[in-house]
Amino acid sequence: MGAIFYPPTEDEAVRPRPRKAAVLRISGIVQGVGFRPFVHRAARKAGVAGYVRNMGGSEVEIRVEGDEGQIAEFLRFLLLEKPPPARIEELAMVEDQPTGLREFKILPSRRGARLYSMIPPDLAVCEDCMREVYDPRDRHYRYPFNSCAWCGPRFSMIEAVPYDRPNTSMRDFPLCDDCRREYEDPDNVRRFHAQGISCPRCGPRLWMEDSAGNRLEVEDPISEAARLIDEGAVVAIKGVGGYHIACLATDDGVVARLRERKRRPQKPFALMALDLDAAREHVEVDPQAEALLTSPERPIVLLPRRPGSPISDLVAPGLDTVGVMLPYTPLHHMLLRETRDRILIMTSGNEHGKPMCTDEECARRRLSGFVDYLLHHDRRIVNRVDDSVVRFTAGRVTMLRRGRGYAPAWIRLPAELERPVVAFGAELQSAGAVAFRDKVVLTQFIGDTDELENLDYLDRALRFFCGAYGIDPVEATLVADAHPGYASRRLAERWARRAGVELATVQHHHAHILSVMAEQRVPVGERVVGVAVDGLGYGLDGTLWGGEVLVAGYGGFERVGHLAPQPMPGGDLATRWPVRMLIGVLSTFMSDSEVIETLSRHGLTERLPRGEVEARVALSQARDPGAPRISSAGRILDAVSALLGVCFERTYEGEPAMKLEARARGGKLVEGVEAPVSRGGVAVVDTSRLVESVMERLGDADAGDLAYTATYLLGRALGEVAGEAAARLDAHFVAVSGGAAVNTLLVRGVEDALAERDLEVRLNSRVPAGDGGIALGQAAFALALGLREG
C-alpha cells in the first residue's frame, strides 16, 4: 500500500530510528534530462541507500532505504530540486522491507514497464554549454555538438526506449577518457550519466561538400559556410532533426534565386536570428514572444515585421509577419555569429512537396539541385523532426506545426481508455497518434500524406511509438478520418486488415472539436458547443463541410448551424484558383452575364489560367446540380481574397486567407456589409449575402477595411449561432478549432458574439488547430467506445 513519510519530531530524533524502505515509480519527462544523476545526488545528500534505473516504459524506478527522516528529506529534494527540463507527472510509492543496502547506485536500465513516461523531446542548447563553446580554455571550445543532461538532441536520435546511449545514434561515438570521467563523476551536475555527451575528440564531426559532391578541404567548416553565405551562396546544413537551407535574408537576388530553384513562389521562409537583439532589429518582440523565442523548445514564432527592416520582401510575400527562431544548437549559433547580418533564412531542406532530408545521401540527391554547398555531420538522425511553428491568435499562443521541442510529449485525457488507440490523423499538414491509459502521444509533424513518402513516414512513426509504448494493433482501437479518399484512411484500413480488427472513423470536424475537449479535459458524458472552421472535411450529408457549429460529446455530435453550402466549380481547382470559388458564390445570386461582366470589370477573368473561357466553364460547372457543394469558412475567405485582389492562386496551404488577414490588419468595420443568419431547425449563415455586400462597397471602401469586415463578420455570425446553442446547453465556453481557428479576426468575431452571453472561447494550444491536431480528437473519440473513469 502507499506510504507517506514525515520528518521526525525533536523528541523522536533522540531515539534510534528504525530503517525503512520504499520503491518509487516515476513517470513524466524523466529520461534524457539528467534525472537519474539528479536522483543519485539527492540520495547522497539525504543519506539514503538504494538505486535508480530507467525502465522500458520510459519511466524511472527508485529504491531508497534509510530512516524516516532521511527518506522524507530525499522526497523533498526529489520534488523541489529536479533538473530544469524534468517533469514529474505520476509518482507511485510503496513500502518495502529493507534489504541492508549501504550505498546508492545508478543501475543499468531494465526492460518492462508498469508506468510509462514521455520520450524526451529535443531541447535547445543551454547557456552553460554555450559558455563552454566560446571559452578558449574549455575542451569543448567551438565544438558544434556540445550538450549536457539539460539540453541537446533527444527524440531525433532515439531508436528504442529506455533512453540510454546504446539506444541512440550516439552509440556510434564511444566516450573518450575525459568524457568518461565526466560521465562517471557524481559531482558533475550536468554530465554525470548524461547519455548524449561528447567532445571534439570522440564526438560527431563536420565536413563540407560542393553541390557536385566534392569534399572541401577546409580547416573550419562553420567559418567557411558563413563566408560562403555572406558571398551569396545557398548552403544546406544538417541539423538536429533534418537539413536546413540557409542563405542571406536581406538580398533580393539571393532569395529570388532560392525561390526559383526550390519551386516555391510564395510560401514564406523561416528566419534564424543570432539572439534577441538581432531579432528585434527586424520584428516586434514583446515579453510573451521573448519567452517563446528563448524557451527550451525554441519554436519558429510568427511576429510582425518592424518597419524599415532590411529583410527582403520576398521572404514572406504578401504577409505582414515573418517566422523567426533563435539558434538551438552550438552549430547554428556559431554560424550566425560569423555572418554579416546575424540573421539568415533557415528553411526546411526538402524538395517541393517532399519530406525534409535527414541523411547525406538524400541531401546529395535532392538538395544539390538548388544549393551550392552542403554542410554535413556524421551523427545519424533517427527520427525526422521539423521545427515547430507558433503564432499569436487574439492574444493567445496557438500552434501551427508541432515538431522539435514539443513532440513527442503526451497530452492527458479526462478518463482512461479501455484499450490502446492508434489514430491516423487527416490528410494535409497532418500527424498521427497512439494512446494508452489516459495519455495521447502525437507523432511529430508528418506533412501531407497524399505524398507517398510522408504516408510511409506516418506508418513508420506509428510503428515506432507502438513499439515504444507496448501497443499491439491486434489489441488496439484503430481510428481514422471518415473521408474515404484520404490516404491516411487507406493506411488505417491496411492496418485494420492485418490486425483483424474493425476500423473506427470520426467525422473530421467532430475530431477538431474533440481535440479542444481533450486539451480542456472535458469530463466524459458532458457536451460542448464547438465552432469548426477550416478548408474542408467530409460531411455526413454528402457535401463538404468547413464552417460548422456542433453540439458535441465524445461519442457523437449534432450539427446545429453552418455556413451556406456554395458550389465549388471544378472541385480541387476551386481550391487552387480562388476566382473559381468566387464564381461559385456569385452564381447563387447573379445571372451568367452578370457574373462574367462583374469578373471582367474587376479584372478577375484574366486571373484564371485560361481567362474568360475558363471563367465560363467554371460558371457552367457551378450551375451543374451535381457540382460539389461546400460550407467552408476557408473557401469563403478565398473568394473574398480574390474579390479584393489579394490572392489569385493558392500555392501553399491557407495562402489566400493568410494574405487576407495580413491585408486586414489595422482595418475597421465597414457599414452595409452583413452576414445574416437564417434560423430554422439548423441555423445557416448566408455567405452569398456576405460576398454580395462586400461587392456593393467595392470602390468606396478601403480594401483592407473590407477584408477586416468580411473576416470578422464571418466569425461573429458563427459565434451568434454558437452562443444560442450554448445557452440552450447551459455551457460556459465554446470550443473553436480547425485550420482557420488561428485567424485573429475570425476568432475576435466569435469572441465578441459570445461575450454578450458571458461565454468564453477556448482554442487549441498544445496541438495545432488544423489537421495536425486531428489525431488527438480521434484518440479522444475512443473514450466513448469504452472507458473507465480516470
Residue 564, pLDDT > 70, answer yes
CA distance 670 to 655: 24
Lookup result for grid cell 535527414: 358
Candidates 403, 432, 462, 430; CA nearest to 778 is 432
pLDDT, position 9? 54
Q: Which three cell numbers stand for residue 79?
A: 520534488
Polymer length of the chain: 790
CB-CB contact of 738 with 534 (8 Å): yes
pLDDT 10s digits, 16-51: 678 999 999 998 888 778 888 889 999 999 999 999
pLDDT, position 55? 79
pLDDT 10s digits, 583-598: 999 999 999 999 999 9
pTM summary value? 0.91
What burial letters (b/e) apply to 332-369, b meaning 16+ CB within 10 Å?
Answer: bbbbbebbebbbbbbbbbbbeebbbbbebebbbebbbe
pLDDT 10s digits, 539-556: 999 899 999 999 999 999
Burial, 6: exposed, middle or buried (Cβ in 10 Å; 0-12, 13-18, 19+)? exposed
pLDDT, position 504? 97
pLDDT 10s digits, 502-535: 999 999 999 999 999 999 999 999 999 999 999 9
pLDDT, position 88? 87
Residue 1, pLDDT > 70, answer no
Percent of the chain with pLDDT over 90: 87
pLDDT 10s digits, 224-240: 999 999 999 999 999 99
| SS3 (DSSP) at 564 | coil
pLDDT, position 33? 81
pLDDT, position 187? 84
Query: Among the listed ranges 28-32, 317-321, 383-387, which one has the minimum average pLDDT value?
Result: 28-32
pLDDT 10s digits, 238-268: 999 999 999 999 999 999 999 999 999 999 9
| SS3 (DSSP) at 627 | coil
Q: How far, in Å, are 53, 125, 154, 184 from residue 164 at the CA level?
A: 11, 19, 10, 14
CB-CB contact of 743 with 728 (8 Å): no
**Banded pLDDT at 115 (limits 50, 70, 90):** low
pLDDT 10s digits, 200-210: 999 999 999 99
pLDDT, position 2? 42
Helix (H) or strand (E) holding 763, with range, is: strand 760-763
Q: How far, in Å, are 68, 77, 107, 110, 339 from residue 40 at the CA level?
A: 18, 11, 11, 17, 43
Residue 787, pLDDT > 50, answer no
| Angle formed by the axes of helices 703-729 and 744-755, nearest 10° | 40
Query: Among the listed ranges 55-69, 698-712, 768-782, which one has the minimum average pLDDT value?
Result: 55-69
Candidates 233, 222, 440, 438; CA nearest to 332 is 222
Residue 391, pLDDT > 80, answer yes
**Banded pLDDT at 169 (limits 50, 70, 90):** very high
Residue 501, pLDDT > 90, answer yes
pLDDT 10s digits, 425-477: 999 999 999 999 999 999 999 999 999 999 999 999 999 999 999 999 999 99
pLDDT, position 3? 41
Percent of the chain with pLDDT over 70: 96
User: Per DSSP, which regions of 352-409 are E strands?
Assistant: 373-377, 389-393, 396-401
CA distance 509 to 539: 9
CA distance 493 to 499: 10
Residue 360, pLDDT > 60, answer yes
pLDDT 10s digits, 71-86: 999 999 999 888 888 8
pLDDT, position 246? 98
* Mean residue pLDDT across the chain: 94
pLDDT, position 109? 77
What burial letters (b/e) apply to 514-531, b meaning 16+ CB within 10 Å?
Answer: bbbbbbeebebeebbbbb
Cross-strand bridge partners of residue 486: none
Lookup result for grid cell 522539435: 404
pLDDT 10s digits, 333-348: 999 999 999 999 999 9
pLDDT, position 11? 53
pLDDT 10s digits, 596-643: 999 999 999 999 999 999 999 999 999 999 999 999 999 999 999 999
DSSP 8-state class, residue 364: I
Residue 8, pLDDT > 80, answer no
pLDDT 10s digits, 676-685: 999 888 999 9
CB-CB contact of 324 with 271 (8 Å): yes
